[in-house]
Amino acid sequence: MLTSLCISNIVLIEKLNLQFGNGLNVMTGETGAGKSILLDALSLALGGRGDVGLIRSGCSTASVTVEFDCVGNELKTILEENGIEDDGALILRRTLQTDGKSRAWVNDIPVSVKTLKQIGDELVEIHGQFENHSLLDATTHLTALDKYAQIYKPGFISALNQMRLAYANLHESEKRLKQLQELLEKSETERDFLEHNVAELRSLNPQIGEEEELATKRAQMMDAEKNAGILTDAIELLKNNGHSLDEQICSVAHILERIKTEPNPYSEQINKLYDAASIVADISETIQPENPDIDTLDSIEERLFAIRAAARKHRVMADELPSKLVEMESQLNAIDNSDAELKKCQSDVNKFAKIFDEIATTVGDIRKESAQDLRQKILSELPDLKLGSADFMVDIQKSQPSINGTDSIVFMIKTNPGTPFAPLHKIASGGELSRLMLALRVVLNNPNDIKTLVFDELDTGISGATASAVGARLDKLARNEQLLVITHSAQVAGYADKHFKISKQSSAGSTTTSVVEITGDDRLNEIARIISGKEITSESIATAKTLVKQ
């Protein structure tokens, strides 16, 4: 539901903040007061065309903000796709600059105008002389008829779901059959290729995690080979031309012992040399040359390089080679068992096609019944709306099978006797079209829909009983949905749950439009003004009292 509309610097509106309510929100005002400006501003906030002519004279920028208090499931999906959180309230904001640049936000998240319009279309539907109503798009007619059938035809939802499941199974089996047929067309060439590659991978028999394990072992063995060289160098130095280093140290100590001076001044050094010789001897015994298994290293490298080469060949990661083998074995098996597999796939297609056709026929029969019911209800609405010469029908034609069955649905209308039926979008626009849309909306009203409906031009060329009939239907429709209605009709205004008055003021060379909610005597006076013109009489006040919904 639309809860607020904030406008800044749009044409004659300098600042405006409106709070809307449930049910029927009506706006009235004298001709030229600026009622169309509100629709233009709302359309801008919902992703409509940004015309710089909307910017108030003397201003460089204009903005419109609208707030909604709940969203439907389809809209929640759109919000999730665009990274927008749904916290129970939805705020759409649009700015427009004199250089033509426009920016948009949803819950303070910048979005494209295209995304803003996609979101706006799920929130509000405007029925005005120059608006594109969703029901004028023939692609929406099947959904509209199905929603009607879901309300009035028990079992339709179950049949619809069964049909969609049957189509999904049919589509999947047809896809599998097509893939198999394409594979068999190139089977001979594929067979040789697959047989060679399957044999190669079977012989290699790669395992998940094997590449990493081999790479680790290879690194370890290469380190061991380097270590062996280092140890050999150390041992050579310790032996030093065939004489061990500890023997050479002892020889130095022996030489120093031959000094004749008593006591020997090098006794301390001699003892340290013997200690050093002992330490070196111990070290020499613990250092042993390593002999890495070169053959093992070679076999590891050969295996590792073979696995990596196979991964490159098949353009997969090494750990994906086992699954690649399974895939190619399956393809080879399909070729080898092509006749049996082809027959099975064709059998599945035939089976699911039969199931789908049976359920689609049931769904189509219910749609035909619903179409007749819908036609009678629409026709019963038209005379009171001054559309008694019009006729309505639902054209149902066979179409290619799809998730929606085998029916093509188009709402048809003719406005005058003797003229042929034509799709809705080809009939005249203006008040006639808006009243027809009202009749459709009343009959197709779905309690689960939460769109805000905006009606303009409804009262063009009508008055009296017809205007009362329009008001009554708006009142009925507003019991389930929020409506915003711009009207010149006192009868329509009398049904309002909230009534707003639009007026224009001029002072000091400046003109502004204002909108205020009116209640009580102010509301009676406004309805009386609509009845009698600028001069409000006691008779028009009395009439206004009879029109106000109690």
Residues 6+ apart with CB under 8 A from 176: 345, 348
Amino acid at 432: E
Assess if residue 373 is contained within a domain. no
314 Cβ contact partners less than 8 Å away, ≥ 6 residues apart: 197, 321, 324
Q: What's the total number of domains in the chain?
A: 2
Closest CA to 24 of 508, 499, 550: 499
Q: What single-letter DSSP state applies at residue 421?
A: P
Same domain membership, residue 536 and residue 473 = no
Give yes or no: residues 92 and 29 share one domain: yes
Q: Within 10 Å of residue 355's Cβ, how many Cβ atoms?
A: 17
Cα separation, 261 vs 268, whole angstroms: 14
**Do residue 469 and residue 546 come from a single domain?**
no
Q: What are the E-state strand segments in 388-440?
A: 391-402, 405-414, 422-423
The residue range of the domain holding 55 is: 1-130+451-516
Cβ(71)–Cβ(90) below 8 Å: yes
Query: Are residue 532 and residue 476 in the same domain, yes or no?
Result: no
Helix (H) or strand (E) holding 488: none
Same domain, 33 and 104: yes
Q: What is the tens place of the pLDDT at every residue in 295-323?
A: 677 888 888 888 888 889 889 998 999 98
- On whether both 456 and 549 belong to a single domain, the answer is no
Residue 41: the pLDDT is: 92
Block means of pLDDT (10 residues each) for the chain, 550 residues, are 94 92 92 81 91 90 92 80 84 94 93 92 78 74 92 93 95 90 74 85 88 84 72 64 67 70 75 78 69 71 87 90 88 76 88 95 96 94 87 94 94 87 75 80 78 83 86 90 91 94 84 91 93 88 90
- Taking CA atoms, 224 is separated from 156, 211, 287, 342, in Å, by 76, 20, 15, 58
* 366 inside domain: no
**Cα–Cα distance between 129 and 152 in angstroms, integer?**
31
What the block records as the tokens of 439 is 């009749």
Using the structure block, give the residue that is written with the tokens 């700015």. 95
Region class of 404: left (phi > 0), else alpha (psi between -120 and 50), else beta: alpha
Please give the pLDDT value at position 501.
94
CB atoms within 10 A of CB 61: 15
Residue 126 lies in a domain: yes
Please report, in angstroms and rounded to a whole number, the separation of the first and last CA atoms in the chain: 24
Residue 350: φ, ψ to 5°: -65, -40
pLDDT at 271: 82
195 inside domain: no
Please check whether residue 543 lies inside any domain of the structure.
yes
The first and second tokens of residue 321, run together, are 């080679």
Q: How far is CA 218 from CA 209, 215, 311, 312, 550, in A?
A: 14, 5, 19, 20, 91
Q: Kindly report, residue by residue over 64-87, the tens digit of the pLDDT.
A: 999 998 777 778 888 888 888 877
348, burial (CB in 10 Å: exposed 0-12, middle 13-18, buried 19+): middle
Same domain, 468 and 537: no
90 lies in some domain? yes
484 with 508: CB under 8 angstroms? no
113/29 same-domain check: yes
Distances, alpha carbon 349 to alpha carbons 161, 167, 174, in Å: 19, 10, 6
Are residues 495 and 507 both part of a single domain? yes
The verdict on 536 and 459 lying in the same domain is no
Evaluate whether residue 398 is within a structural domain. no
CATH code of the domain in which 67 resides = 3.40.50.300
Residues 485 and 499 in one domain: yes
Query: Do residues 20 and 5 touch, judged by C-beta distance below 8 A?
Result: yes
What is the tens place of the pLDDT at every residue in 410-437?
Answer: 999 988 888 899 888 777 556 677 788 8
pLDDT of residue 425: 75
d(CA 328, CA 336): 12
Does a structural domain hold residue 417?
no
Angle at which helix 210-239 crosses helix 267-286, to 10 degrees, equals: 150
Considering the domain architecture, whether residues 38 and 124 belong to the same structural domain is answered as yes
